[in-house]
Amino acid sequence: MGGSGLKKEIDIQFKDYFERIDLCIPDIIPIEVLKNKGSKNKIAFFTGFVDDKKYSGSLEVKGSESQPNDYTLLLTIFGAE
Protein backbone atom coordinates (compact mmCIF):
# COMPACT_ATOMS: atom_id res chain seq x y z
CA MET A 1 0.00 0.00 0.00
CA GLY A 2 1.66 3.17 -1.11
CA GLY A 3 5.40 3.15 -1.51
CA SER A 4 8.30 2.32 0.72
CA GLY A 5 9.42 4.59 3.52
CA LEU A 6 11.04 4.89 6.92
CA LYS A 7 10.01 2.37 9.56
CA LYS A 8 8.48 5.12 11.70
CA GLU A 9 6.26 6.33 8.83
CA ILE A 10 5.14 2.82 7.92
CA ASP A 11 4.39 2.02 11.59
CA ILE A 12 2.05 5.04 11.70
CA GLN A 13 0.25 3.74 8.60
CA PHE A 14 0.09 0.27 10.17
CA LYS A 15 -1.58 1.68 13.29
CA ASP A 16 -4.14 3.64 11.24
CA TYR A 17 -5.09 0.69 9.05
CA PHE A 18 -5.11 -1.71 12.02
CA GLU A 19 -7.66 0.50 13.79
CA ARG A 20 -9.85 0.61 10.67
CA ILE A 21 -9.71 -3.15 10.21
CA ASP A 22 -10.53 -3.70 13.88
CA LEU A 23 -13.63 -1.52 13.50
CA CYS A 24 -14.77 -3.29 10.32
CA ILE A 25 -14.50 -6.96 11.17
CA PRO A 26 -16.94 -8.59 13.60
CA ASP A 27 -15.85 -8.74 17.24
CA ILE A 28 -15.99 -12.53 17.23
CA ILE A 29 -13.02 -12.64 14.83
CA PRO A 30 -9.84 -11.93 16.83
CA ILE A 31 -6.87 -10.01 15.40
CA GLU A 32 -3.45 -11.27 16.41
CA VAL A 33 -0.25 -9.21 16.08
CA LEU A 34 3.15 -10.89 15.81
CA LYS A 35 6.46 -9.00 15.89
CA ASN A 36 9.86 -10.19 14.72
CA LYS A 37 12.44 -8.51 16.94
CA GLY A 38 15.32 -9.37 14.62
CA SER A 39 13.91 -7.84 11.44
CA LYS A 40 11.49 -5.41 13.17
CA ASN A 41 8.77 -6.64 10.83
CA LYS A 42 5.28 -7.20 12.22
CA ILE A 43 2.05 -8.71 11.01
CA ALA A 44 -1.55 -8.49 12.17
CA PHE A 45 -3.76 -11.26 10.91
CA PHE A 46 -7.30 -12.38 11.37
CA THR A 47 -9.26 -15.42 10.37
CA GLY A 48 -12.66 -16.60 11.51
CA PHE A 49 -16.13 -17.73 10.59
CA VAL A 50 -19.31 -15.67 10.47
CA ASP A 51 -22.52 -17.28 9.17
CA ASP A 52 -20.50 -20.30 7.96
CA LYS A 53 -18.24 -18.09 5.82
CA LYS A 54 -14.51 -17.84 6.47
CA TYR A 55 -12.99 -14.35 6.55
CA SER A 56 -9.20 -13.91 6.50
CA GLY A 57 -6.65 -11.17 5.98
CA SER A 58 -3.36 -9.71 7.09
CA LEU A 59 -1.66 -6.36 7.48
CA GLU A 60 2.13 -6.49 7.45
CA VAL A 61 5.06 -4.13 7.95
CA LYS A 62 7.83 -5.63 5.89
CA GLY A 63 11.30 -4.25 5.45
CA SER A 64 14.97 -4.74 5.00
CA GLU A 65 17.39 -4.71 7.93
CA SER A 66 20.08 -3.14 5.76
CA GLN A 67 17.88 -0.37 4.31
CA PRO A 68 16.17 1.74 7.02
CA ASN A 69 13.99 3.57 4.46
CA ASP A 70 12.87 0.42 2.65
CA TYR A 71 9.81 -0.60 4.68
CA THR A 72 6.42 -1.23 3.09
CA LEU A 73 2.89 -1.90 4.30
CA LEU A 74 1.15 -4.92 2.78
CA LEU A 75 -2.58 -5.57 3.09
CA THR A 76 -3.91 -8.96 2.01
CA ILE A 77 -7.62 -9.76 2.10
CA PHE A 78 -8.52 -13.35 1.32
CA GLY A 79 -12.25 -12.60 1.27
CA ALA A 80 -15.12 -14.81 2.26
CA GLU A 81 -15.15 -18.47 1.32
Q: How does pLDDT run across 4-21, given as a tens digit for each residue?
A: 888 888 889 999 989 988
Residue 68 lies in a domain: yes
Residue 2 lies in a domain: no
Residue 36 lies in a domain: yes
Domain count across the chain:
1
Could you tell me the residue range of the domain that residue 69 belongs to? Answer: 7-80
Residue 1 lies in a domain: no
Q: How confident is the model at residue 48 (pLDDT cuts 50, 70, 90)?
A: confident
Helix segments in the chain, DSSP class H: 7-24
State the pLDDT at residue 38: 73
SS3 state at 11: helix
SS3 state at 79: strand
**Could you tell me if 58 and 76 are in contact, meaning their C-beta atoms sit under 8 angstroms apart?**
yes
- pLDDT: is 46 or 40 the higher one? 46
Residue 41 lies in a domain: yes
